[in-house]
Amino acid sequence: MYQLTVLYHHPDDAAAFDKHYNEVHIPLASKMPGLRRYSVSHPAPGPDGSKPAYHLIAVLEWDDEAAFGAAVTSPEGAAATGDVANFATNGATMLSGSATLAT
């Protein structure tokens, strides 16, 4: 399995970010070829109530690195990647690599 993890920094306007992410970005990213799984989490405040490090974390999974490469270079991948600047006002950190399930 090959994963792309996207760590979205806190946006200037969280409501606008969430609306765009849910209504525009998820439908775009979901069309990437070979995508096997797409999960999204909203980190909770720390035990002391402190703000989490990220606003949203997305994890996308493909069968292997070749499938990931084909997806991100596809027209659908270009559309999803290009859309990030439309809502992630303070940027995002993207990490990719092989993933294994630990039991």
Residue 36 confidence (pLDDT): 97
The neighbouring-strand residues paired with 56 are 8
Write out pLDDT tens, residues 45-92: 999 999 999 999 999 999 999 999 999 999 999 999 999 999 999 999
What is the 3-state composition of the chain as percent helix, strand, coil, each rounded to the nearest 5?
35, 25, 40
pTM to 2 decimal places: 0.91
Q: Which of 20, 29, 33 is nearest to 87 (CA)?
A: 20
| Candidates 3.30.70.100, 3.30.460.80, 3.10.20.90, 3.40.50.920; CATH matching 2-43+53-98 | 3.30.70.100
